[in-house]
Structure formats: C-alpha cells, structure tokens
C-alpha cells in the first residue's frame, strides 16, 4: 500500500539493532512470544519463524509480550501485520516499556493487556538522524491512521500526532 511505502523510508529510532526474541511458557502452560529491545529489519520474520516453530512442535502461541522503546517503523508495521493475521493479543508486562514504533505493535493486538506499572508512550516519527521532515510528518499521520484501525482511542492518536519525535507522551 502507499502508506507502507512511505513508512518504509522512515525510522523512529536512530540506532536500531535486532530485538531479542524468545518464548516463555506460563504457569497455565500457555506459550507467549517475548520481543525485547529495538525493533529492526527482520524482526517480524524472526517472530513469525518462532511462532511457526512452536506450532510445528504442537504448541499454540497465546500472545506477544512487548518491551520495546521503538526502532524501525517499517518493521513495526510488518510486525502489526503478523499480529493481526495470527489474531494474537499483545501484552506490556509489569516493569516493561513500550513506546514509539513498539507502540504500534502493541496497538495491533486483538486484545491488549498492560500492567498497571507498565510504561506506554507515543510520539511522532523522525528520520534516521532524528529530524522531523514533511516525509516523517506524513509517516506520523499514516501511523495514526493505522493505530485508529486497531481501535486506539482518538485522544491517544492526537497525542501521537502532537508530540514531537524528541519527546514522549
């Protein structure tokens, strides 16, 4: 889609390295994929491979737990597509933080769960140098529209649009 093409050229964090991916079996024997760190190119494919591997072993992934302060917006959009396609809930657990491009992954959850002491934040997009341009402003609007399709309340979308990339709301 045109929005994805625009988002592909924009990153929210200047230095993104691949996120740490793992799976955790909870007390009720459910399996949760855990994504921690900056979202970078290839993380959506790695997450999908982890889910497929669990499925191949007869395990069903019940949710995706996020602890990410951002990274590549384009890769976060790919992650949202995976989360929506797999109809997975998203979780931001106690003590975890989820912001910037990571927020889009959280917003994609079919159901969204956050701990009382989790930190979740939004802001506008910037380029790889941390600058806001006409292109990054367009990416922010595309990100806001996408968040709206995931049921993010208008008040939070307004905060995303109004908050400069150097700040967080």
> Taking the CB of residue 13, how many other CB atoms lie within 10 A of it?
23
- Phi, then psi, of 153 in degrees rounded to 5: -60, 145
What pLDDT does 37 receive?
93
69 alpha carbon, distance to own chain's centre: 9
**The model's pTM:** 0.85
Any idea what the Cα angle at residue 4 is, between residues 132 and 160, rounded to 5°? Answer: 45
What pLDDT does 158 receive?
96
Per-residue b/e over 130-145, b at no fewer than 16 CB within 10 Å? eebeeebbbbbbbbbe
**pLDDT tens by residue, the chain, 169 residues:** 333 333 333 333 333 347 898 889 888 888 999 999 999 999 999 999 999 999 998 889 999 999 999 889 999 999 999 999 999 999 999 999 999 999 999 999 999 999 999 999 999 998 878 889 899 899 999 999 999 999 999 999 999 999 999 999 9
What pLDDT does 11 receive?
33
> Taking the CB of residue 123, how many other CB atoms lie within 10 A of it?
22
């Amino acid at each position: 889609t045109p929005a994805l093409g625009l988002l592909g050229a924009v990153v929210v964090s200047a230095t993104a390295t691949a996120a740490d991916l793992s799976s955790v079996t909870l007390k009720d024997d459910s399996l949760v994929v855990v994504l921690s760190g900056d979202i970078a190119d290839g993380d959506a494919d790695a997450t999908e491979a982890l889910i497929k591997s669990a499925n191949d072993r007869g395990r069903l992934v019940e949710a995706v737990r996020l602890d990410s302060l951002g990274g590549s917006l384009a890769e976060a959009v790919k992650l949202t597509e995976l989360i929506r396609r797999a109809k997975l809930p998203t979780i931001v657990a106690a003590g975890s933080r989820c912001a910037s491009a990571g927020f889009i992954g959280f917003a994609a959850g079919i159901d969204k769960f956050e701990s009382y002491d989790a930190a979740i934040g939004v802001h506008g997009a910037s380029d790889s140098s941390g600058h806001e341009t006409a292109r990054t402003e367009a990416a922010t609007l595309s990100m806001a529209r996408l968040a709206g399709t995931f049921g993010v309340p208008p008040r939070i979308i307004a905060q995303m649009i109004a908050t400069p990339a150097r700040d967080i709301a």
